[in-house]
């Protein structure tokens, strides 16, 4: 059972990193998009590319605060933690 859990976590990390590397280009959110969790996540992605991990985490947290049900913000925040390690 523990092996399955480790494989699942590793799979999520690999998929998250692949999405970050192969996904759409990151862009910064404009002031009009600050209320949009998807735009904030994209802004966090741009910060990740610049290895600004703390700033990216703050932006992902802001996206989660706007919409606690927006799963993408949680996934990207998890990717940030994986990249920082």
Show the domain range for 72. Answer: 2-84
Number of domains in the chain: 1
The pTM (predicted TM-score) of the whole model is: 0.60
pLDDT tens sequence across 15-70: 566 555 555 444 455 555 668 899 999 888 888 888 888 888 888 999 999 999 99
| Exposure class string for 40-71: b at 16+ Cβ within 10 A, else e | bbbbbbbbbeeeeeeebbebbebbbebeeebe
């Amino acid at each position: 059972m523990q092996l399955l859990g480790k494989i699942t976590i590793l799979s999520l990390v690999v998929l998250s990193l692949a999405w970050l590397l192969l996904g759409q280009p990151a862009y910064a959110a404009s002031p009009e998009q600050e209320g949009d969790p998807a735009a904030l996540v994209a802004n966090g992605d741009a910060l990740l590319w610049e290895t600004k991990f703390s700033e990216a985490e703050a932006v992902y947290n802001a996206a989660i605060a706007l919409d606690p049900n927006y799963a993408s913000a949680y996934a990207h925040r998890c990717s940030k933690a994986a990249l920082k390690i």
